[in-house]
Amino acid sequence: MRDSPDLTEITPSAGIERHHHGWRAKCLQRLIRLELPVPRSFAIPASTVAGIASGRRIPLPELRALFSQDNRLVSVRPSAVMPEWGGPRTVLNVGINDDTHTAMSKSIGGANADAIYLDFVQSYAINIARLDPDMFTQDGPGALAQALHLYHDQMDEPFPQDPGTQLAEVLRSMSRAWDGPTARLLRQAKGAPADAPLGLVVQDMAPALGPGLCGSGTIQFIDPVSGAPRITGRFRRQSQGATAGQDVETFYLVKDDRGSSLEDVAPELFGDLVAYGTATRARLREEMQIEFVINNGNISIIDATRVQRSSRANVRVAVAMARNKIITTAEAVMRVEPRALADLLHHQVDPGAPRHVIARGINASPGAATGKIVFTTTDAQAAAARDEACILIRRETSPEDIRGMHAAVAVLTERGGTSSHAAVIARGLGKPCIVGATGINIDLRHRRVKFGSEVLEEGDEITVDGTSGEVLAGRVTLLGPALDDSFNQLLDWADQESDIVVRANADTPEDARMAQTFKAQGIGLCRTEHMFFDANRLPAMREMIFADTPDDRRLALERILPMQRQDFRELFEIMAGLPVTIRLFDPPLHEFLPHDREGIRELAESLDLPLSDVTRRVDALSEFNPMLGMRGVRLGITVPEIYDMQARAIFEAAIDAAARTGQPIVPEIMIPLVSAVREVEIVKNRIDAVAAEVRNVHRIDFDYRLGVMVETPRATLRAGEIAEHLSFLSFGTNDLTQMTYGLSRDDAGRFMGIYVGQGVYSEDPFHILDQDGVGELVLTGVQRARQTNPQIILSVCGEHGGNPESIAFCHAAGVDYVSCSPFRVPVARLAAAQATI
Q: Looking at beta carbons, which residue is closest to Mg ion?
A: 735
Backbone angles phi, psi at 13, to 5 degrees: -105, 0
The response to whether 527 counts as a known ligand-binding position is: yes
Query: Which DSSP string do the residues of 721-779 spell out, in sequence order?
Result: HHHTT-SEEEE-HHHHHHHHHT--TTTTHHHHHHHHHTTSSSS-TTTS--TTTHHHHHH
- Give least dist CB 785 to Mg ion, A: 18
Ligand-binding site membership of 734 (annotated): yes
- Residue type for 681, please? E
How far is it, in rounded angstroms, from Cα 283 to Cα 278?
9
Residue 590 contact, options ligand PEP, Mg ion, none, Cβ 5-8 Å cut-off depending on partner type: none
Classify residue 76 as exposed, middle or buried by CB count within 10 Å of its CB (0-12, 13-18, 19+): buried
Nearer to ligand PEP, 263 or 711 (CB): 711
Give the count of beta carbons closer than 10 Å to the beta carbon of residue 575: 24
Q: Which residues pair with 668 in a beta bridge?
A: 581, 705
DSSP 89: P
- The one of ligand PEP, Mg ion, none whose footprint includes residue 527, by CB under 5 to 8 A per kind, is ligand PEP
C-beta of 771: minimal distance to Mg ion in Å? Answer: 20
Which strands sit side by side in the sheet containing 454-457, from one edge to the other? 440-443, 448-451, 454-457
Partner whose binding site includes residue 797, from Mg ion, ligand PEP, none (CB under 5 to 8 Å by kind): ligand PEP
Q: How far is the CB of 711 from ligand PEP (least distance, A)?
A: 5
Which of 213/818 has CB closer to ligand PEP? Answer: 818
Which CB sits closer to Mg ion, 114 or 711?
711
DSSP letters, 261-301, are: BHHHH-HHHHHHHHHHHHHHHHHH-S-EEEEEEEETTEEEE
Residue 149 neighbours by CB distance under 10 Å: 12
Select the binding partner of residue 168 from ligand PEP, Mg ion, none (C-beta < 5 to 8 A, by kind): none
148 to each of 138, 318, 329, how far by Cα in Å?
Answer: 11, 51, 58
- CB nearer to ligand PEP: give 48 or 795: 795
**Residue 114: contacted member of Mg ion, ligand PEP, none (CB under 5 to 8 Å, by partner type):** none
Q: Which is nearer to Mg ion, 272 or 735 (CB)?
A: 735
Which of ligand PEP, Mg ion, none binds 217 (CB below 5-8 Å, type-dependent)? none
Residue 732 is assigned to a ligand binding site: yes
- Kindly tell me which of 319 and 818 has the beta carbon lying closer to ligand PEP: 818
Taking the complex as a whole, the smallest distance from the CB of residue 575 to Mg ion amounts, in Å, to 22
Nearer to Mg ion by Cβ, of 227 and 732: the residue is: 732
Tell me how far, at minimum, the Cβ of 453 lies from ligand PEP, in Å.
Answer: 37
Contact 289, 307 (CB under 8 A): yes
Binds 798, which of Mg ion, ligand PEP, none (CB < 5 to 8 A, cut-off by type)?
ligand PEP
Among Mg ion, ligand PEP, none, partner that 733 touches (CB below 5 to 8 angstroms by kind): ligand PEP
Task: State phi, psi for 267 to the nearest 5 degrees.
Answer: -60, -35
By CB neighbour count within 10 A (0-12 exposed, 13-18 middle, 19+ buried), where does 536 fall?
Answer: exposed
Catalytic residue among 390, 797, 810, 820: 797
Which residue intervals of 293-447 are DSSP H helices? 311-323, 329-334, 342-345, 377-385, 402-407, 421-429
Distance of CA 515 to the CA centre of its chain: 20
Residue 467 binds what, of ligand PEP, Mg ion, none (CB under 5 to 8 Å, by partner type)? none
Quote the least distance from Cβ 735 to ligand PEP, whole Å.
Answer: 3
The whole-angstrom separation of Cα 365 and Cα 425 is 9
Is residue 797 among the annotated active site residues? Answer: yes
- Amino acid identity of residue 620, one-letter, is A
Q: Is 339 annotated as a binding residue?
A: no
Neighbours of 542 (CB within 10 A): 21
Q: Which is nearer to ligand PEP, 207 or 775 (CB)?
A: 775
Would you tell me which residues interact with ligand PEP (CB under 6 A)? 525, 527, 586, 711, 732-735, 797-798
Q: Comparing C-alpha atoms, which of 828, 835, 732, 837 is closest to residue 519?
A: 828
Supply the minimum distance, in Å, between the C-beta of residue 687 and ligand PEP: 20
At residue 457, the 3 state secondary structure works out as strand
CB of 668 to ligand PEP, least distance (A): 15
Size of the site for Mg ion (CB under 5 A): 3
Sign of CA dihedral 80, 81, 83, 86: negative
Q: Residue 588 binds what, of ligand PEP, Mg ion, none (CB under 5 to 8 Å, by partner type)?
A: none
* Region label for 593, one of left (φ > 0), alpha (ψ between -120 and 50) or beta (otherwise): beta
Helix (H/G/I), strand (E/B), else coil: 328: coil
Distance in Å, CB of 504 to ligand PEP, minimum: 12
Question: Mask: binding to Mg ion, 688-717, rule CB under 5 A, as x and -?
Answer: -----------------------x------
Identify which of residues 207 and 632 has a Cβ nearer to ligand PEP in the complex: 632
Active-site pick, 346, 421, 530, 800: 421
Q: Which residues ranging from 723 to 782 are in contact with Mg ion (CB under 5 A)? A: 732, 735
Alpha carbon distance 21, 13 (integer Å) = 14
Of the pair 401, 586, the CB lying nearest ligand PEP is at 586
Known catalytic residue at 820: no
Nearest 5°: phi and psi at 625? -140, 70
**Cα first-last separation, the chain:** 45
What distance in Å separates the CA atoms of residue 25 and residue 31, rounded to the nearest whole number? 10
User: Is the Cβ of residue 733 or residue 789 nearer to ligand PEP in the bound state?
Assistant: 733
Q: How many CB atoms lie within 10 A of CB 561?
A: 18
524 binds, among Mg ion, ligand PEP, none (CB under 5 to 8 A by kind): none
**132 assigned ligand-binding residue:** no
Nearest to 736 by CA among 782, 759, 770, 762: 770
* Smallest distance, ligand PEP to C-beta of residue 424, A: 6
Give which of 746, 738, 740 is closest to 425, Cα–Cα. 746
Minimum distance, C-beta of residue 381 to ligand PEP, in the bound complex (Å): 25
- What is the CA angle 651-722-508, rounded to 5? 35
Q: Does 591 bind Mg ion (CB under 5 A)?
A: no
CB proximity list for 465: less than 8 A, separation 6 or greater: 349, 355, 363, 368, 432, 434, 471, 472, 476
Q: Which H or E element spans position 494?
A: helix 485-497
Residues making up the binding site = 527, 583, 711, 732-735
The residues of the shown chain that bind Mg ion, judged by CB under 5 A, are 711, 732, 735
Residues making up the binding site for Mg(2+) = 711, 735
Residues annotated as part of the active site: 421, 797
Residues making up the binding site for substrate = 527, 583, 711, 732-735
